[in-house]
Amino acid sequence: MTHTPDILSSLYVFLLATFVGLEVIKRVSPLLHTPLMSLTNAISAISIVGALIIAGRAETTLSTILGTLAVTCSMINVTGGYLITFRMIKMFKRKAPKK
Amino acid sequence: MNETFISIAYLAASAAFILALKWLSSVPTAMRGVIIGAIGMTLAIGGTLLSPEIVSYRYIGIALVLGALIGIPMALMPMTAVPQRTALSHAFGALAAALVGTAEYSLRHDVLDRFTMFALVIEVLLGSLTFSASLMAFGKLQEILPQRPITYKGQNIVNLAVLGVALLTGVALVINPANTLLFPVMTILAFTFGIMLIVPIGGADMPTVIALLNSYAGLSAAAMGFALDNKLLIIAGSLDGASGLILSIIMCKAMNRSFSNVLFGAFGQVQTGPAGKVDAKPVKSTTTEEAASILANANLVVIIPGYGMAVAQAQHKVRELHDSLVKKGVKVVFAIHPVAGRMPGHMNVLLAEADVPYDKLLEMEEANSELPEADVSLVIGANDVTNPAARHDTNSPVYGMPIIDVDKARVVMVIKRSMNPGFAGIDNELYTMDKTLMLFGDAKAVVGELVKEVAAADS
């Protein structure tokens, strides 16, 4: 298989990223577990990269439709995910606001 | 030249995503994390749009605008709707991965090598099952579907059989990628398995399930990275996969369930055994007036919120109660159980939304060291996470589950709609203890009354 070197480096990247992820996320305060989930959800909307290529290559009608739908779905999470995380983080204050 | 720029943009985006999660670890730096994460995503999308592979921008433009038009209102929902919103966004993420995988297969099925096919199979399997499972979770959280777990005999065997056949179909596809008939079969089986996985899940188990689906959605994006040989996708996907994994392990530990128990979807079964003795012991109920005077004269009050507070939308009234008690010189803290609510961190977000300062929100261990000193523990809409049977009654389905030691406080007050048992269907012996005072009624109404009475009480 001609792909062999790429597979190996992909596996290395996967392995390292998973360990970095586990280490970084272990430190996240339970206070922020809901924003953590909405932020990782926004980050995993990175599928938009694959979706854009499929939709933009416009090879067959089927692939263009599937790609366009996938871009829409991912974009929902990109905009929605960052915006709601932003809203949540803004709510966390140390002092109660004066009324 | 574009190629180099794209590679650099992807590299920078990868670094941005890791920094985003690192900075999210504590409140003071969290906002920086959100911003760097958004910058990373902008770089990734911008870089991709410059790719020479993209020949037509028409549909892309429409899709981006449409996605933003749906995504923005979804982000402006009230915080009480966050669990179902999260489930829905997992569904969108997983669907995107499954669609890209299907498109990729439809274009290249006769030239695929086995490794790429393997990655596509994983991507589409995880994508389809996470899509249908997340929609089911959304339906249950939104109460379109019944929240009670639905179980039948041999359920696990049937579920595993469906999953097994789906996996076998996947293996057959890896052996012969050109067998185009098998691809839709695999997709439909995975989709079906996703539905069946959530059927036996009850509301109380939702935090674990949502975390697990979060992980699957990330892993399907990582699999897409393998299929497209794109390192950025692998990194972002595995970060999400790791995050969901850690959260579901934390949720499992907080419910004393094993991880394999979750993976096989065999949970939600707890409700089948309301074991332990069911004595018809009398409960002591009290008036808000009496409760308010006890609260106003306390030194330390620990409030234990649960899903019931979210259902009653009582978080703003709870903050008012906190304010009026603080005005009377009472120290008030909140004890948050990891699985309180319907998703990880649910209670923290609700209380932060109601302007409760976040340094008043204590984790379980910290709260438990304060509770023996507390004059009053006030339980608002929480049930199983306060059940003392978890510590001593080996017959109880909740036995071994870490709980908030509400019963260690001098006086226990419980705000509850009625004497119906909680989601796990277990009697809570807390309610019949001598030092427990029950306040029956809607949490929002009862807490509202308490606020008025506390303001009027002399201390």
Domain ranges of chain A: 32-89
Instruction: Assess whether pLDDT exceeds 70 at residue B18.
Output: yes
* Rounded Cα distance, B233 and B261, in Å: 30
Residue A2: pLDDT band with limits 50, 70, 90: very low
- Which carries the bigger pLDDT value, residue B256 or residue A64? A64
- Residues β-bridged to residue B412: B377, B436
pLDDT of residue B423: 53
For the structural domain made of B288-456, what CATH number should be given?
3.40.50.1220
pLDDT of residue B157: 87
Q: Check if B422 contacts A (Cβ < 8 Å).
A: no
Residue B200: pLDDT band with limits 50, 70, 90: confident
Mean of all residue pLDDT scores within chain B: 90
Quick: pLDDT tens for B40-83. 999 999 999 999 999 999 999 999 999 999 999 999 998 889 99
Quick: pLDDT tens for B259-310. 666 656 544 444 444 444 445 567 888 888 899 999 999 999 999 999 989 9
* Rounded Cα distance, B253 and B265, in Å: 16
pLDDT of residue B422: 53
Quick: pLDDT tens for A17-66. 999 999 999 999 999 999 999 999 999 999 999 999 999 998 999 999 99
* Rounded Cα distance, A24 and B243, in Å: 9
Residue in chain B closest to A28 (alpha carbons) equals: B25
- Spell out which residues of chain A touch residue B78, defining contact as CB-CB under 8 Å: none
pLDDT of residue B260: 67
Residue written as token pair 């709707």: B81
Contact B17 A43 (CB under 8 A): yes
Residue A4: pLDDT band with limits 50, 70, 90: low
* Rounded Cα distance, B233 and B236, in Å: 5
> Which ipTM score applies to this complex?
0.93
| Segment B320-335 mean pLDDT | 94
* Rounded Cα distance, A97 and B73, in Å: 27
| B132 burial level (CB within 10 Å; 0-12, 13-18, 19+) | buried
CA-CA-CA-CA dihedral for B242, B246, B249, B250, to nearest 10: -170
Residue type, A64: T
- Which carries the bigger pLDDT value, residue B189 or residue B157? B189
Q: Which ranges constitute the DSSP H helices of B229-363? A: 231-255, 259-263, 288-296, 307-311, 315-327, 346-353
Residues 6+ away with beta carbon under 8 Å from A62: B103, B106
Residue in chain A closest to B237 (alpha carbons) equals: A44
- Spell out which residues of chain A touch residue B242, defining contact as CB-CB under 8 Å: 17-18, 21-22, 25
pLDDT of residue A98: 53
Q: What percent of chain B has pLDDT over 90?
A: 69
Residue in B70, B229, B240 nearest the CB of A76 = B70
pLDDT of residue B271: 42
Mutate to test the interface with B, among A14, A54, A73 (most CBs of B within 10 A): A73
| Segment A69-94 mean pLDDT | 95
Please provide the size of chain A in residues.
Answer: 99
Q: Compute CA distances B201 → A26, B11, B141, B151, B216, whole Å.
A: 26, 40, 11, 9, 17
pLDDT of residue B190: 97
> H-helix or E-strand containing B437?
strand B436-440
Residue in B34, B57, B75 nearest the CB of A79 = B75
pLDDT of residue B185: 97
pLDDT of residue B332: 95
